[in-house]
Structure 1
Amino acid sequence: MSFEHEKQVCNLFHNSMEIIGRRWTGAILVSLMDGPKRFNEFHNMIPEISSRLLTERLKEIEDYGLVTRTVLSDRPIQVIYALTEKGAELQPILQLIGNWAARWDSKPNIEENTTEKVLNI
């Protein structure tokens, strides 16, 4: 493999990790694995995230092509977020990361089977 090819692969990997590794982005993506969600549903699943940060992260992953944002014309207006094909392809990767974290996280209060509960494995 040439140096230029290795550099390109490294840059692609780094750019992808910058997106999915941002605080709360993984939790947002995992919550969408079982289907589309409204904004308030994210707060039920991820109560620690602020509305401002949730809005910011949803916009970032929408811009990156991982989720779609659909405005329904119902009254009151509702916004639905769903994974794109690109976003859905992250599911096995996020499951592996979740499994790794559950196995190697050194925090003594981690609950048994956390990964299975979060990812519905």
Structure 2
Amino acid sequence: MKRKRYDCAPGCPVEAALDLIDGKWKGVILYHLLDGTLRFNALRRKLGGVTQRMLVKQLRELEEAGLVLRTVYAEVPPRVEYSLTAEGRSLEPVLLALMRWGEAWMAARQMPQAAE
């Protein structure tokens, strides 16, 4: 089967898709949310080197794109949880394919993999 090729000028489907997950942390945030709902600090611990400011920025952008749902519970102290929307969940095959490709690429170059 022949794949349809797009002229990947500005506005092409590849650019649109990559724009949604562009940035150092967005793809990793989405990957960790595949396992289910996480609170802000739990997500931050999973990411390691991300600053609070950057995580907030990336989560807001993912929320604006309709990929992440932010739920605030009126408690003291307030509890905020993040989960994938149906649209965000639709990225699962893409994220898992990127993970498998990354594992193979790292293994080919004998690079150490980060522990989860």
Q: Same fold (TM over 0.5)?
A: yes
Gap regions ≥5 residues in structure 1: 1-5
Please name the residue that 1:96 is paired with: 97
- Partner SS, residue 34 of structure 1: coil
Q: TM-score, normalised by structure 1?
A: 0.80
Please name the residue that 1:3 is paired with: none
Gap regions ≥5 residues in structure 2: 1-5
Task: Supply the distance in 2 between the matched residues of 1:67 and 1:7 (Cα, whole angstroms).
Answer: 30
Q: TM-score, normalised by structure 2?
A: 0.83
- Partner SS, residue 12 of structure 2: helix
Q: Of 106, 109, 112, which aligns to 1:110?
A: 112
For this pair of structures, how many residues does the alignment match?
110
Task: Supply the distance in 1 between the matched residues of 2:18 and 2:28 (Cα, whole angstroms).
Answer: 14
The 4+ residue runs of structure 1 with deviation greater than 4 A are 7-10
CA RMSD for the aligned pairs? 2.3
- Higher helix share goes to which structure? 1
After superposition, the C-alpha distances for 1:59-112 in whole angstroms (9 at most, x for unaligned) are 00000000011110111111111100000011111000110111123553323x
Alignment of 1:4-83 (within 5 A): 6-7=6-7, 11-83=12-84
Task: Supply the distance in 2 between the matched residues of 1:36 and 1:44 (Cα, whole angstroms).
Answer: 14
- Partner SS, residue 104 of structure 1: helix
